[in-house]
Structure 1
Amino acid sequence: MNHLKTAVLLAGLTALFMAVGFLLGGRGGMMIAFVVASGINLFSYWNADKMVLRMYGAREVDETTAPDFVHMVRDLAARAGLPMPRVYIVDNPQPNAFATGRNPQNAAVAATTGLLQTLTADEVAGVMAHELAHIKHYDTLTMTLTASIAGAISMLANFGMLFGGGHRENGSPFGAIGTILMVILAPLAAMVVQMAISRAREYEADRGGAEILGRPMVLASALAKISGTAHHVPNYEAEANPATAHMFIINPLSGARMDNLFSTHPAVENRIAALRELATRTGSGTWPPSGPPAAGKWQDAGAASRGPWG
């Protein structure tokens, strides 16, 4: 079913890309946009994960540079029945995380330094279990592809504005109206992508992550902490690339831009309520006590101790 949703979503984004080309250059522009969109779809399938990681300046870590963090992800991946993903840390003060990759065999998980500095070790494990659930459900394929195509739509609209798109001599049947439409469509492109990603994916990843970890309220505690901090700490890379917002466990955008009129993420209160219900139904624990942040263990090489995941 996820493969079908991905195909439908990509077809819709390709159609939108072609519509932008038509407004900029008429039928000729539409055909060029179709060829370009086909190339982007193919390129993105193989490379979108690398592009997103590079966009956020993610640095890959291993057993030498972040032993406890990597060992924790390895343990969780084994519990989930997944291959070991590549592990990255993003130097960003906003507490957040995301997963990317076209399939479980070519996946990566990334956590920000803000996440490691804010959450306890168990809470970080809950967040990474959520991201591994996205990988297991093949959500990351949709996430990476839509982020790439949506970014291309906005770039095409900006290109048209800079180089005179919408003028009748360029083949556009709408002239100046086409240019105005591009101004409107460019910011709306990110919203369309965000709305196309079902909020149900986040609920499913929460449930899947809680099952991998075996402690739903640990993830609930992490969500409460992240949401209470994230929107007060700007993520400038995400603000510059709003089409990638749906990839994060919590919406990384500040809400100051119109990109946030439609959010891809369910309300945190509802997600916590769903996890609380799961914990009650399975008898798997209550709200965990507070603890020290995990950064001292996982953020840098030379950690003093392995901790429970080492």
Structure 2
Amino acid sequence: MPSHPKLSLEAGLSAIKQGDFQSAIAILEALTQTLANSNIFLQAQIGLIVAYAKSGNIPRAIALCETLTHSQNSEVQRWANRTLEQLTLPRKDSKDFTSLVPFEQNTRITGQKPTQRNNDPNNETSLTPSLTPSLTPSPSPTNPEKSKPLTIHWRQAPRAKTWIQQQKLNLIPFRLLMLGTFIALFWVIRELVVLVMGFINTILVVVPYLQPIQLLYANPTLLLLLVLLILIGVSPRLLDRILTNFYGLQKLEKDTLNRYSKEAVRVLERRCQQQGWQLPKLRVLPLAAPLALTYGNLPRTARIVVSQGLLEQLCDDEIATIYASQLGHMTHWDFAVMSLVLLVTIPIYKAYQYFSEWGDRTTARIWRWVMAVMASIAYVVWCLLTGTGLWLSQLRLYYSDRLAVDMTGNPNGLVRALLKIAIGIADDIQKQEHTSWQLESLNILAPVGYQQSICLGSIAHNTTFESFLMWDYLNPYRWWLVINNTHPLIGDRLQRLLSIARDWHLETELNLEKQQPLRVKRQSFFIQVAPFLGIPIGSVFAIVIWLVWQTAYALKFLNLKWIYDNWSFMTGCWLIGFSIGTLIRINSFFPDIKPSTTQTDDRLPNLLSNPAALPSDSINVRLVGKLLGRRGTSNSLGQDFILQSSTASVRLHYLQWLGQQQNPQNLIGRQITVTGWLRRGATPWIDVQTLQTHSGTTIYSPHPIWSTVLAVVTEAVGAYILLKG
């Protein structure tokens, strides 16, 4: 495609004249993704309507045409209204779409230079930037007093009336992953218990007149295994009690569910009848954020829980697809293992919550500090235990999505449901101005993760879903960057659902078509993973050292075998490799931020829509917005800082500087300016350099310094281990 916008427009219109509508669509869609505030952008949209109509994609042509009916250019409005009438006529009375032309008053648009919109809203010759086919337009961001949030236009793509169920999958790898998750959870718990037991006895040995407890020297493996098996057996009742006491869990009568979604009741009854199950117990949580989860150990003990927000924010068929996906977890039995993970992690999370609340209530500084340490330890332990279920949490959603579509024949409905859940979660966080306890602690079982919802749900009013989600299914390195996420890439999930819709010859809710992965510089990826790449390189270096020492010892040339007679020195090589990789990455990861190179709020949607971006690209940004997050002891590790800008919400990574008196928690709820490095990964975030208020108060976050400290410390420890043996 030509790089110059005007040449690209001419190429797209020429392709329409030649009848190559697919090429025209590709060129013009790419052009509309890169331009705004220009009449070339508007002409490209007009050309897209013609290309869609002539290629038979009438729903997309209608959606885009409806957008242009709101244009402030009167000529464009008249053309869009006439074209919309033609497109919406019944098929038997419709005109020949090949008679459509891009624009009758062509010279009115293409004959003038692109102009910036002035402040006069009644000036018809100044062209407003129409955003997308699936969004209605808003005033220019240059006039914030008149800007309004955009309304999301759902295409309401149809469902299948008859369909052939997809080929059954081989569930053996999935079963093995479930077993591996149980083993990982057991191993982490065992190591933590052994650590605590050893710590207690160490204290008892050091303190005078006290003796260590011999029982704490025993091997807890068999006892812990027995306890976990018992917890699986009693998990339904225990989780009932926990969710009722701490989350307000209530019964959801079938008649009540029927008022929200008659189809959901039919899906439940039909599936249970087919499988020979009892109808699962239905529950509801009094939460505004849309959530859904299933727990239990057998299909007859299963509980399907939804939030009140989900029932109120989703439509009939969309609620049914969510219930169908929860039935998918029961069918595949992954809900039994995930119930155990939830049962083990909720008490740890509640301990973190209680320590935080106690720390906030106390007035003594020493006790506040102690409670902050205890809360932070509890939070880290909760993260470790939750981490054992990450891979199962990701894979099980692909399986449940697939089965939900087979049960309902409605892939488009499930796509809308997942997107609305993300939007609802983002709205809930913005209203509460922090991530709620319930949302974070139940996140591992939710259909959409709250972290991926923060940006996706908030940016939906300022760009297309297609643009933002391209990264999720086109970036070739996306699988490496999702390893530590609780949920799979939502763009990849939706692309798979929409491919099923295309196989069933349905119009799709979104235009996410499978393409060849983008070409991304390998150097950028190697810089991203340099610290972790240093670990296997360190292993190779350790083996080489071992071979050289063994050879030298055998030849009686050098007698160091007494130092390196075991493999403990390999740990030193790993640390040195990690340190070298960290040092290599620092300069690329944290380039100097100059005012001339910083990007501002209006560019944020475009920056986040780049499918070839990697976190190591380190985009310099200076964004203005409202700081959200938890207050007090619960945010001692900086785990919940979010910037709510005018275009999107983005998570902030903040590191405290030693001796700094100012705390960013003091700025929560206020308008601030964030300077830092934007990173586009599985979940976008900003590494903060400074937080500044309008009054001039500045808080620094020394990411480069702490990275250097980490590299130096690991280098020193690694060298010590290597030399000591």
TM-score for both structures, normalised by structure 2: 0.33
Cα–Cα, structure 1 residues 38 and 227, in superposed 2: closer, same or farther, change >3 Å? same
- The 8 Å contact of residues 390 and 487 in structure 2, kept in 1 or not, is answered as no
CA–CA distance in 1 between the matches of 2:421 and 2:186? 34
Cα–Cα, structure 1 residues 100 and 283, in superposed 2: closer, same or farther, change >3 Å? farther
Q: Secondary structure at the match of 2:284?
A: strand
CA–CA distance in 1 between the matches of 2:341 and 2:483? 18
> What displacement does 1:69 show?
5.4
Aligned to 2:448: 250
- 1:22 maps to 2:194: yes
Greater mean deviation of Cα atoms: 212-221 or 45-54:
45-54
Cα–Cα, structure 1 residues 255 and 44, in superposed 2: closer, same or farther, change >3 Å? farther
CA–CA distance in 1 between the matches of 2:440 and 2:393? 23
CA–CA distance in 1 between the matches of 2:186 and 2:194? 12
Among candidates 402, 405, 426, match of residue 231 of structure 1:
426
Cα–Cα, structure 1 residues 116 and 19, in superposed 2: closer, same or farther, change >3 Å? same
Cα–Cα, structure 1 residues 199 and 65, in superposed 2: closer, same or farther, change >3 Å? closer
> What displacement does 1:152 show?
5.9
Residues 199-222 of structure 1, C-alpha deviation per residue, up to 9 Å, x if partnerless?
121111111111111111100011
- 1:91 maps to 2:286: yes
> What displacement does 1:191 show?
4.3
Cα–Cα, structure 1 residues 72 and 101, in superposed 2: closer, same or farther, change >3 Å? farther
- 1:219 maps to 2:414: yes
> What displacement does 1:269 show?
1.7
Cα–Cα, structure 1 residues 261 and 138, in superposed 2: closer, same or farther, change >3 Å? closer
- The 8 Å contact of residues 126 and 219 in structure 1, kept in 2 or not, is answered as yes
Residues 262-303 of structure 1, C-alpha deviation per residue, up to 9 Å, x if partnerless?
322112222111110011112355439xxxxxxxxxxxxxxx
Aligned to 2:237: 50
- The 8 Å contact of residues 130 and 208 in structure 1, kept in 2 or not, is answered as yes
Aligned to 2:401: 206
Among candidates 486, 489, 499, match of residue 277 of structure 1:
499
- The 8 Å contact of residues 95 and 113 in structure 1, kept in 2 or not, is answered as yes
Greater mean deviation of Cα atoms: 21-30 or 133-142:
21-30
CA–CA distance in 2 between the matches of 1:230 and 1:111? 14
CA–CA distance in 1 between the matches of 2:194 and 2:420? 46
- The 8 Å contact of residues 101 and 107 in structure 1, kept in 2 or not, is answered as yes
Aligned to 2:330: 135
- The 8 Å contact of residues 227 and 268 in structure 1, kept in 2 or not, is answered as no
Aligned to 1:38: 225
Q: Secondary structure at the match of 2:388?
A: helix
CA–CA distance in 1 between the matches of 2:324 and 2:419? 16
> What displacement does 1:77 show?
2.7
- The 8 Å contact of residues 322 and 414 in structure 2, kept in 1 or not, is answered as yes
- The 8 Å contact of residues 231 and 253 in structure 1, kept in 2 or not, is answered as no
> What displacement does 1:79 show?
3.5
Equivalent residue letter for 1:251: G
Cα–Cα, structure 1 residues 16 and 219, in superposed 2: closer, same or farther, change >3 Å? same
- The 8 Å contact of residues 123 and 222 in structure 1, kept in 2 or not, is answered as yes
- The 8 Å contact of residues 287 and 309 in structure 2, kept in 1 or not, is answered as yes
CA–CA distance in 1 between the matches of 2:286 and 2:350? 26
Q: Secondary structure at the match of 1:110?
A: strand
Greater mean deviation of Cα atoms: 265-274 or 195-204:
195-204
Q: Secondary structure at the match of 1:89?
A: strand
Equivalent residue letter for 1:60: K
- 1:146 maps to 2:368: no
Cα–Cα, structure 1 residues 59 and 153, in superposed 2: closer, same or farther, change >3 Å? closer
CA–CA distance in 1 between the matches of 2:336 and 2:251? 20
> What displacement does 1:34 show?
3.7
Unmatched tracts of structure 1, length 5 or more: 159-178, 289-310
Residues 97-141 of structure 1, C-alpha deviation per residue, up to 9 Å, x if partnerless?
111111222211111111111111111111111111111111111
CA–CA distance in 1 between the matches of 2:179 and 2:345? 15
Unmatched tracts of structure 2, length 5 or more: 1-171, 199-213, 354-373, 430-434, 455-481, 511-725
CA–CA distance in 2 between the matches of 1:189 and 1:219? 31
Structure number with higher helix proportion: 1
CA–CA distance in 1 between the matches of 2:387 and 2:258? 40
CA–CA distance in 1 between the matches of 2:187 and 2:352? 14
Q: Secondary structure at the match of 1:144?
A: helix
- 1:193 maps to 2:380: no
Of structures 1 and 2, the one scoring higher in RCO (CA 8 A, sep 6+) is 1
Cα–Cα, structure 1 residues 210 and 186, in superposed 2: closer, same or farther, change >3 Å? same
Aligned to 1:292: none
Residues 20-46 of structure 1, C-alpha deviation per residue, up to 9 Å, x if partnerless?
122112395474754663354133212
How much identity, in percent, do the aligned residues show? 19
CA–CA distance in 2 between the matches of 1:89 and 1:157? 25
CA–CA distance in 1 between the matches of 2:216 and 2:352? 12
Aligned to 2:183: 11
Residues 206-261 of structure 1, C-alpha deviation per residue, up to 9 Å, x if partnerless?
111111111111000111111122134246343563xx4221111246899xxx99
- The 8 Å contact of residues 260 and 311 in structure 2, kept in 1 or not, is answered as no
Aligned to 1:298: none
CA RMSD of aligned residues (A): 3.5
Cα–Cα, structure 1 residues 9 and 101, in superposed 2: closer, same or farther, change >3 Å? same
CA–CA distance in 2 between the matches of 1:183 and 1:52? 20
TM-score for both structures, normalised by structure 1: 0.72
- The 8 Å contact of residues 207 and 275 in structure 1, kept in 2 or not, is answered as yes
Paired residue total:
263
- The 8 Å contact of residues 17 and 34 in structure 1, kept in 2 or not, is answered as no
CA–CA distance in 2 between the matches of 1:51 and 1:285? 45
CA–CA distance in 2 between the matches of 1:97 and 1:211? 19
Aligned to 1:295: none
- The 8 Å contact of residues 293 and 304 in structure 2, kept in 1 or not, is answered as yes
CA–CA distance in 1 between the matches of 2:379 and 2:446? 25
- The 8 Å contact of residues 126 and 222 in structure 1, kept in 2 or not, is answered as yes
Residues 158-204 of structure 1, C-alpha deviation per residue, up to 9 Å, x if partnerless?
9xxxxxxxxxxxxxxxxxxxx9x967851431442342425121111
- The 8 Å contact of residues 20 and 182 in structure 1, kept in 2 or not, is answered as no
Cα–Cα, structure 1 residues 183 and 46, in superposed 2: closer, same or farther, change >3 Å? closer
